[in-house]
Amino acid sequence: MTHRLVIVASGNGSLAQAIFDATELDVDIVAVISDRADALVLSRAQKAGIPTQVIPMGDSRQIWNGQMISAVEQYSADLVVSAGFMRILPAEFVQRFPTINSHPALLPDFPGAHAVRDALAAGVSITGTTVHWVDAGVDTGPIITQMEVPVLPNDDEATLHERIKKVERGLIVATIALILPTLEHNA
């Protein structure tokens, strides 16, 4: 059974590209939605023949929440993958649509937007990446998979984040493959 995926992303799109390129996944990526019209992920999706949609955050969070829910609903998504989406999805959204997120730290350590910087500031010797179910909190949903990445003595935020991203790309694809059968079972 082919599952319908919607990817939400705000940035460069390297994580989304890993999903686009994953031939082992039995998925139809039905849309990439971004909150930023200038997000590089949109051109990556267009090159891959995937429909895109931009839903910018305006003055009203409530209106934006409704627009996000309506957009995903129209695509009949089985799974929403947050791949570098830098907005908090509303509780109603994540209660309605199974949603996973990739986070550049070993949750529950270092939640939030500055996980790599926070890990360096804390002086940890190991950090990593986590794929988790999204709930109404910030990086608080149940953990699905994690992979460790060592912090090297000469790491700065950019070098450490780049090494985490390399691991993250493989982990998000493996995690999607892992959970697809559970989605079939619930369908």
pLDDT digits (tens, 9 = 90+) for 49-82: 999 999 999 999 999 999 999 999 999 999 999 9
Residue 100 pLDDT more than 70? yes
Nearest alpha carbon to residue 28 among 56, 4, 60, 62: 4
Distance CA 123, CA 72 (A): 40
**Tens of pLDDT along 139-166?**
999 999 999 999 999 999 999 999 999 9
CB 107 within 8 A of CB 132: yes
Within 10 angstroms of residue 123's Cβ, the number of other Cβ atoms is: 7
Q: Cβ contacts of residue 166 below 8 Å, gap of 6+?
A: none
Distance CA 22, CA 41 (A): 16
Tell me the pLDDT band of 186, cut-offs 50, 70 and 90: very low
Mean of all residue pLDDT scores within the chain: 95
Distance CA 131, CA 142 (A): 9
Torsion (CA) 45, 179, 80, 20 in degrees, nearest 10 = 0
Tell me the pLDDT band of 183, cut-offs 50, 70 and 90: confident
- Mean pLDDT to the nearest integer, 123-130: 98
Domain borders along the chain are 3-182
Residue 93: CA count within 13 A, CB half-sphere: 28
Instruction: Tell me which CATH code domain 3-182 carries.
Output: 3.40.50.170
Residue 44 pLDDT more than 50? yes
Residue 185 pLDDT more than 80? no
Residue 181 pLDDT more than 60? yes
| pLDDT the model gives residue 184 | 60
Query: Which residues pair with residue 41 across a beta bridge?
Result: none
- Report DSSP state, residue 163: H
- The fraction of the chain above a pLDDT of 70, given in percent, is 98
Catalytic positions are: 103
The letter for the amino acid at 43 is: S
